[in-house]
Amino acid sequence: MMILAVFRSRAHSIDYVGRLNAYGVQATTVPTPKEAKIGCGLCVRFDGRYLVRARAIMKIGRYSSFKGFYKTEFQNGRMVVLPLQ
């Protein structure tokens, strides 16, 4: 499962991906899927195995533009973006 961290700030997206990489989480910036219906157009994608670590790193950064974590799934051949609890 892939996780997206969605921000309203491109600068925060870029900073967060750098922090994740520094803490051993392979992450990349990707265009925010239109299915998320939120964000600045740039989000951070990483493997769901690292969600606990990613949440801890999020608290360190205190990103005011952070909108939430979302998971991506394919249903009936279409990508669905769902918010994580």
Q: Which domains does the chain have, with CATH numbers?
A: 2-83 (3.30.70)
What does the pLDDT read at residue 60?
92
- Taking the C-alpha atoms of residue 27 and residue 13, their distance in angstroms, rounded to an integer, is 11
The letter for the amino acid at 36 is: A
Q: How many residues in the chain?
A: 85
Q: Give SS3 for 45.
A: strand
Per the CB < 8 A criterion, the answer to whether 45 and 32 are in contact is no
Q: What is the pLDDT of residues 10-35, one digit of tens each?
A: 999 999 999 999 999 999 999 998 87
Q: Give SS3 for 65.
A: coil
- Is residue 39 pLDDT above 70, yes or no? no
- Is residue 66 pLDDT above 90, yes or no? yes
| Rg, the chain, Cα only | 12
More confident residue, 39 or 42: 42
State the CB neighbour count (10 A cutoff) for residue 42.
Answer: 18
